[in-house]
Structure 1
């Protein structure tokens, strides 16, 4: 059998198939395997998430329920056991994220490459697939190469990724292969991508470089309804908003723009999510009582980042130089209200090529959720981001890749024996 694509899904599909007795050829268009894996998790490779299957599916907003059967066969716990067996001890960090103890993605890739060698998987690099054909008469696939050669197999796993981070080789090739077999492609769109804003606070670079930990972001639709709430770190940049929380919100913004006329959406940022507005006000009042001769600006800089305090003071035209003993409490209320719902209007994302994950792809309606086999073509399987499945950051996407890859490989191997 043949696996097309040498990313996380393809590597695991090849291993899963080989472990179950198939002779596997793995085709990778680039000059090395695992390029996207090496840059995942900031170069540390967040191999999965330690929390339960229900939690993981909740963090796969793009057709997560489709994966119930997959996770029943090969779950996050199986991924952890798999790497432990390969001699890659893992450690759990915040929010259940699992990393190799070495903090190096190369440790994960090296273990996978050693397992491929152990399972005698035939690896062909710089193998650019031109098309995938099937002969009913011979009941076999022909994978034609751009170079002119071809590979013959009874089963094929397409695991070439989507079209985000194209420098890793994900350029949408799998959609063309799937369409040859009459598969429907949900138009690709960016997810897990930074947000662009044209607001003065961004364009003026007032807060560029400001990082807010554990903020709560609320995205509002054009009518003011909250359509997404996400918690995590936020970074103000020269173009807009980035950081894990912004990446999690991005897909909801994109989907809103896809449904409605594209117009700026209000994003409010709670910069102090662990304290209520009243507790913040009480803190400021208490500091003011202890230091009544200090200026309002000096006191406010004690409760939040200096750049943020200065910006809000100027934005609300507060009497910054007034001593606390003379400050009207309403000024404190207004200041805290702004901190708890800092407004930014987002109008775009950095696009598919800058996205971490691709939304859209081969519709899951045409894929058997138990096996990852095409419902339209026997012997054709899909794994990973080429399908219309996408997750939040935090080890969820790579869990999808590893799990769907292994299950696709397992059942593709069975298909080979059935032939």
Structure 2
């Protein structure tokens, strides 16, 4: 008798693993295929090895963070919610904690324990796992999926593509899943690297890299994108900018950068104070400390290193007092403090991208099952589809939830 699996899952990341577990719990015969020598290498590296699994937001708030895609993910979250995820990990021996009240991690902040627990659960459920598998092509003939490799063929009645995106190619991301999806008749939207540092034309702020700017406000200074705005912690680098707010904003910037040589940004480093508030603050400081220099005045608003660079930008000597600065430069200083200009000129591509923006078109996937609307028995989950969220456990929760739903629905 020909050996045909109930389900083959291609890609052993978080989505593929949960799809396999979900199907196996339903007594289905499952084969999990992975091109790398080990499963879940990218999961192991997530969050610097700490593995931010999910977060404490309500389901509605969680979905809102995905923008237009938020409506699509609701069915997956209803099937396998944050609480379900926490309960699942507890059932396989992994306790979780949210020390900051928001981000949920394994209690020992180690992705290794997550990987070990998932591996044991796959084994307990009898999921067959084959690693170092190079798939050449995938066909569907007479209601059976045929996975062709250089050495053998695998057959299944159902197929889950959970191959992830293009980020971190050293951990196995090569975009094979997009090729398979296209060969099976699906449209793949344009892909861009996301969740990554950005390079700026301005290099002078590299001297500020020891300082983290809390609650910086960023906005794109292009009229067409004037509504793109984000608040969060920012860090300076030798090449430009990083930090949580940059990692999140990169998913908006990289598609724009694909169409423009440069993307001008305006950044407020002082928690949103406007020009009027800044001017009043400086006047009050002068009253309190009339002999202080402008640098000493600015240090009540900014980290000293940032204050020095802004003064240089405005061509103002740091040992002058505010009243000694000529009017036009004083005006420029206040404007620059309110919105400091930066110019995004590039990034490291998918090499440093934690996630991918773009993927298999959502229009061709049934959100209630994650099944293809084009090919019966074909399912998608995780990063391969055209969904990406910000930092903070959003993308992992989506991968786990969509994987669970895809495996359950087959």
Match of 1:27 in 2: 33
Match of 2:378 in 1: 380
Match of 2:140 in 1: 134
Match of 2:232 in 1: 232
Taking the TM superposition and a 5 Å limit, the aligned residue runs for 1:78-227 are 78-94=84-100, 96-136=102-142, 139-146=143-150, 148-199=151-202, 201=204, 205-221=206-222, 223=223, 226-227=226-227
SS at match of 2:136: strand
Alignment deviations for residues 133-186 of structure 1 (CA, whole Å, 9 cap, x no partner):
2221xx32221223x112221111111101111111111011121122111111
Match of 2:54 in 1: 48
- Indicate how the Cα distance of structure 1 residues 168 and 106 shifts in structure 2: closer, same or farther if over 3 A, else same: same
Instruction: Tell me which of 13, 17, 32 is aligned to 1:7.
Output: 13
**Deviation (angstroms), 1:226:** 1.5
- How many residues of Structure 1 are paired with residues of Structure 2 in the alignment? 404
Asked if 1:322 is matched to 2:320, the reply is yes
Give me the TM-score of the superposition, normalised by structure 2: 0.91
**Deviation (angstroms), 1:9:** 0.6
Higher mean displacement: 174-183 or 345-354: 345-354
- Indicate how the Cα distance of structure 1 residues 404 and 301 shifts in structure 2: closer, same or farther if over 3 A, else same: same
* Superposition CA RMSD, Å: 2.3
Instruction: Give me the whole-angstrom Cα distance separating, in 2, the residues matched to 1:85 and 1:13.
Output: 17
Alignment deviations for residues 175-199 of structure 1 (CA, whole Å, 9 cap, x no partner):
1211221111112211222222223
Instruction: Give me the whole-angstrom Cα distance separating, in 1, the residues matched to 2:165 and 2:319.
Output: 54
Taking the TM superposition and a 5 Å limit, the aligned residue runs for 1:293-304 are 293-304=291-302
Alignment deviations for residues 181-235 of structure 1 (CA, whole Å, 9 cap, x no partner):
1111112211222222223536xx44445421221111222x3751311111111
**Deviation (angstroms), 1:326:** 5.5
Instruction: Tell me which of 306, 309, 331 is aligned to 1:308.
Output: 306
- Indicate how the Cα distance of structure 1 residues 140 and 98 shifts in structure 2: closer, same or farther if over 3 A, else same: same
Instruction: Give me the whole-angstrom Cα distance separating, in 2, the residues matched to 1:61 and 1:132.
Output: 33
Instruction: Give me the whole-angstrom Cα distance separating, in 2, the residues matched to 1:351 and 1:71.
Output: 30
User: 2:272·2:338 contact (CA, 8 Å) conserved in 1?
Assistant: no
Asked if 1:253 is matched to 2:253, the reply is yes
Instruction: Give me the whole-angstrom Cα distance separating, in 1, the residues matched to 2:99 and 2:256.
Output: 32
**Deviation (angstroms), 1:76:** 2.0
User: 1:95·1:394 contact (CA, 8 Å) conserved in 2?
Assistant: no
Could you tell me which runs of 5 or more consecutive residues in structure 2 were left unpaired when the two chains were aligned.
1-6
User: 1:227·1:252 contact (CA, 8 Å) conserved in 2?
Assistant: no
**Deviation (angstroms), 1:14:** 0.7
SS at match of 2:227: strand
SS at match of 1:16: helix
User: 2:217·2:272 contact (CA, 8 Å) conserved in 1?
Assistant: no
**Deviation (angstroms), 1:300:** 2.2
Asked if 1:399 is matched to 2:397, the reply is yes
User: 1:25·1:123 contact (CA, 8 Å) conserved in 2?
Assistant: yes
User: 1:62·1:359 contact (CA, 8 Å) conserved in 2?
Assistant: no
Match of 2:4 in 1: none
User: 1:50·1:77 contact (CA, 8 Å) conserved in 2?
Assistant: no
Alignment deviations for residues 30-73 of structure 1 (CA, whole Å, 9 cap, x no partner):
11111111111221111012211221222123623221222221
SS at match of 1:266: strand
Could you tell me which runs of 5 or more consecutive residues in structure 1 were left unpaired when the two chains were aligned.
413-419
Alignment deviations for residues 309-343 of structure 1 (CA, whole Å, 9 cap, x no partner):
11111221234323467567986665343233111
Higher mean displacement: 381-390 or 283-292: 283-292
Higher mean displacement: 148-157 or 85-94: 85-94
Instruction: Give me the whole-angstrom Cα distance separating, in 1, the residues matched to 2:281 and 2:101.
Output: 29
